[in-house]
Amino acid sequence: AAGVIQSPRHLIKEKRETATLKCYPIPRHDTVYWYQQGPGQDPQFLISFYEKMQSDKGSIPDRFSAQQFSDYHSELNMSSLELGDSALYFCASSSVGGISGADTQYFGPGTRLTVL
């Protein structure tokens, strides 16, 4: 079965640079979620999109932005990178419109971002 695809899998950037993470949801899934997992931490919700509109926002820094495109893939753009942004970034997708908690989120393998 098709899974959530994330690219790149690994990314190394310098401080103050920008990074773009991409997420391709499971086919026919209409909702995408982004999570950040710091070293030894649990995943923290950043932002979600339903039908290309932002549906919820968590603890996402103003330096980060995201969007969902017409083909439902999503991109997380990170600017002015800081050392503390080094983390594993997960994308998850679901298919029940994100309207209720009954939608099951399926996670991608993550993008490991290292900021030097």
Binding site for another protein (CB under 8 A): 4, 31, 33, 35, 41-45, 48, 50, 55-56, 58, 90, 92, 94, 96, 98-110, 112
Instruction: Answer yes or no: are the C-beta atoms of 55 and 67 closer than 8 Å.
Output: no
- Comparing CB distances to another protein, the nearer of 15 and 57 is 57
Q: How far is CA 108 from CA 15, 50, 63, 93, 105, in A?
A: 26, 17, 23, 8, 10
Q: Determine the Cα–Cα distance for residues 97 and 103; give it in Å rounded to an integer.
A: 8
Shortest Cβ 59–another protein spacing (Å): 11
- Minimum CB separation of residue 40 from another protein in Å reads 9
Matching residue, tokens 């893939």: 73
- Of the two residues 94 and 115, which places its CB atom closer to another protein in the complex? 94
Looking at beta carbons only, is 10 or 16 nearer to another protein? 10
Do residues 95 and 81 make contact, with C-beta atoms less than 8 angstroms apart? no
Nearer to another protein, 20 or 95 (CB): 95
